[in-house]
Chain A
């Protein structure tokens, strides 16, 4: 078990933007049950390609929940291009750091966001065809 800083614990205890979303513009899921982390992110995107709403669901440890919560805070209001620039390390840094062992196993929230953006783009491409 790892020692988390207060910000991580605060996000774990009061995660932002938990839930599902009906008619999401993009849904992304990363992780797998074998390593014990699954993260799913739902996004709503407006005409200017800006993320106007975001929700997450996570099965995982304290770091998995806190990074999911953090990435939703960071992503909201950003354009999808800006969201794609954000990486897992940025998320961990915004939380004031994670225990070293968690940096590679449970720090997947930005990947989940990228998967949601990718899904949004695929849907849109299909729609425009």
Chain B
């Protein structure tokens, strides 16, 4: 059976060039970057070169790059590290209702530790309003953390504008850019951010490696303690093979970015047009201000996991914001925050495109999906009684 991968927001395949760059560092150049001898020096050089690549890709200085085990650790270090350093100045954090769990759950934890968290609402497209950020700022606000682009519906936030507000008030500003690197241009100076998280496996690099960018002069404390690696912000022997992979991956992902993304955007237009041609399917998120590869729709009267299973049986890999896929009884907090009903959130389908997808693959998905939807709708008690329940518009 053919297999079509449309879940690039979950993870991406590692680029063969990235694998080739990593391979020497497992066996031949396996040294510990902290060792003084030649083995160590080779490894150190590889880490330094990767750090340069990351810095160049996001417009930062090499001393502002801290390697972590991924996006979740980068988010935790950013939020908990700032809070530790600034708790004597205040106890208030501003974030949004649609953050990734790595941010929202970290803020939630701090909420149980004597901090106060404001979760800003979003509009129907999932956009945070800069005026809301401004209004939420208090004298004791120590951190604002708003994601760059959302993992579920791809909406891109006005980060530069929010960053300007944060800076004007002297408040540290963090953004989770895990979804945006390699999809849209990311420059820490243009975005006015003090801290930025990224993760290699979202842009064709390996899993288990990420970065926290920390602007020079930002007051932050480490949350783990050990050796002197990563300027003590993230102690522990460097995962140098993966760091090399991340360096290579970010270099590739940010080269000819606009050109490569325009191909993906064309596929997205084709996919969205085809999906919206199916009765009672609506697009979630912003029609234009979204990641080039992200498509998120709600399919009325059917449930997301059933859609995923049915598509999987046809070889198509997608995801959903239904409760069954969120690991709890509630559907996606992101879709609910945007004002979707529970039914619409349970019936959501996320298809995220990547470099290897083709028009023909998109057409195949569009050819098998209507049948699947029809089958599930015929099974659905909501569908047979659809004329008796009010339709949300």
Contact = CB atoms under 8 A, between A and B. Distances in A.
Interface residues of B, number: 28
Q: At the interface, is chain A mostly helix, strand, loop or mixed?
A: mixed
Interface in A15-69: 15, 18, 20, 29, 33-40, 57-62, 64-65
A15 B346 CA distance: 21
B265 interface: no
Given A15-B379, A33-B346, A57-B384, A105 B302 contact: no
B76 interface: no
A9 interface: yes
Q: At the interface, is chain B mostly helix, strand, loop or mixed?
A: helix
Given A33-B342, A36-B342, A105-B329, A61 B305 contact: yes
B324 A40 contact: no
B152 interface: no
Q: Which of B342, B381, B382 has the most CB of A within 10 A?
A: B381
Contact of A9 (B309, B324, B378): B309
A61 B379 contact: no
Contacts of A40: 381
A20 to B, nearest CB: 6
B342 A61 contact: no
B343 A58 contact: no
Contact of B322 (A36, A58, A101): A36
Given A2-B324, A62-B305, A36 B384 contact: no
B324 A20 contact: no
A85 interface: no
B34 interface: no
A12 interface: yes
A101 B343 CA distance: 20
Interface in A69-111: 101-102, 105-106
Contact of B323 (A20, A29, A39, A105): A105
B381 A1 contact: no
Interface string B362-384: 00000000000000001111101
Contact of B305 (A1, A34, A35): A1
Interface residues of A, number: 30
B313 A59 contact: no
A98 to B, nearest CB: 12
A30 to B, nearest CB: 11
A37 B382 CA distance: 11
A58 B378 contact: no
A5 interface: no
Q: Which of A1, A2, A4, A65 has the most CB of B within 10 A?
A: A1
Counting from the closest, the 5 A-B pairs by CB-CB distance are A61-B305, A57-B381, A36-B346, A61-B324, A59-B380
Interface of B: 301-306, 308-310, 313, 322-325, 327, 329-331, 341-343, 346, 378-382, 384
Interface of A: 1-2, 4, 9, 12-13, 15, 18, 20, 29, 33-40, 57-62, 64-65, 101-102, 105-106
28 contacts: A4-B309, A9-B309, A12-B309, A15-B379, A18-B378, A18-B379, A29-B381, A33-B341, A34-B342, A36-B303, A36-B342, A38-B381, A38-B382, A57-B379, A57-B380, A57-B384, A58-B380, A60-B303, A61-B305, A61-B309, A61-B324, A62-B309, A62-B324, A64-B303, A64-B306, A65-B306, A102-B324, A106-B324
Given A36-B346, A61-B303, 8 more contacts: A2-B324, A33-B341, A33-B382, A37-B303, A57-B381, A60-B303, A64-B306, A105-B323
